[in-house]
Copies of this chain bind each other. A is one copy, B any other.
Amino acid sequence: MSAITLSGVHKWYGDYHALRNVDLDIAPGERIVICGPSGSGKSTLIRCINGLESHDQGRIAIGDEEVREDARALQRVRIRVGMVFQSFNLFPHLTIVENCMLAPVRVGEASPAEARERAHALLDRVRIGDQKDKYPGQLSGGQQQRAAIARALCMRPEIMLFDEPTSALDAEMVKEVLDIMTALASDGMTMLCVTHEMGFAREVADRVVFMDAGQIVEIGEPTAFFSAPKHDRARAFLGQLIH
């Protein structure tokens, strides 16, 4: 069964048609990179998948669980799907390790001790184990984003969504985060990642999805896509990226 299924998904903001008839099927373990011009609906797509935005038409499912406007169903979806935001969104009033423990203890059934252990392991894995008792405000951007990844992983999600995880970072810190994501990918995690980091996409992605004006315009192998995009819009976009 597919890890994520979108079929005929439409989404409007007021009168603005933000997602137009989106179909996408993602197999378990697949790694997808989504790119496209600003405002093309990448974030909207990803936010619809874990129900942060509700779609207006069509069907989205995580495995066999449909994403629909129902508090319990949504919670089941969100436990299975981890999300990392562009702006980290760590909880500033909690330490890093508390950030990580919150959901397992309050939503999952983990005991505090268990959750702490899990958090420590994951923080070590993203290489900020020594920062665990600091507050988010005390970390650099790259460290914060890695903490955010650890937090999402703490719920042991089947799928990870990333919305431009490196675009709020200084150039020097981008690499730290991409490294962690590459490591995750090599573990076989199902990943859906909005990013314009071509190096990362080339190295990691199974497929690249190019979006424009709310539609999926092109899907392809990363090497093929980046070297010879077929659709005009994609070509124009890539042309601008490389100057």
Binding site for B on A (CB under 8 A): 37-38, 170-172, 174-175, 178, 196, 199, 237, 240-241, 243
Contact = CB atoms under 8 A, between A and B. Distances in A.
Nearest to A39: B140
Contacts of A38: 170, 172
Nearest to A174: B243
Contacts of A171: 196, 240-241
Given A171-B240, A172-B241, A175-B243, 11 more contacts: A37-B172, A38-B170, A38-B172, A171-B196, A171-B241, A172-B237, A172-B240, A174-B243, A175-B240, A178-B243, A199-B243
A101 B38 CA distance: 31
A130 to B, nearest CB: 19
Contacts of A175: 240, 243
Contacts of A170: 38
A127 to B, nearest CB: 16
A213 to B, nearest CB: 15
A178 B240 CA distance: 13
14 contacts: A37-B172, A38-B170, A38-B172, A171-B196, A171-B240, A171-B241, A172-B237, A172-B240, A172-B241, A174-B243, A175-B240, A175-B243, A178-B243, A199-B243
Contacts of A243: 174-175, 178, 199
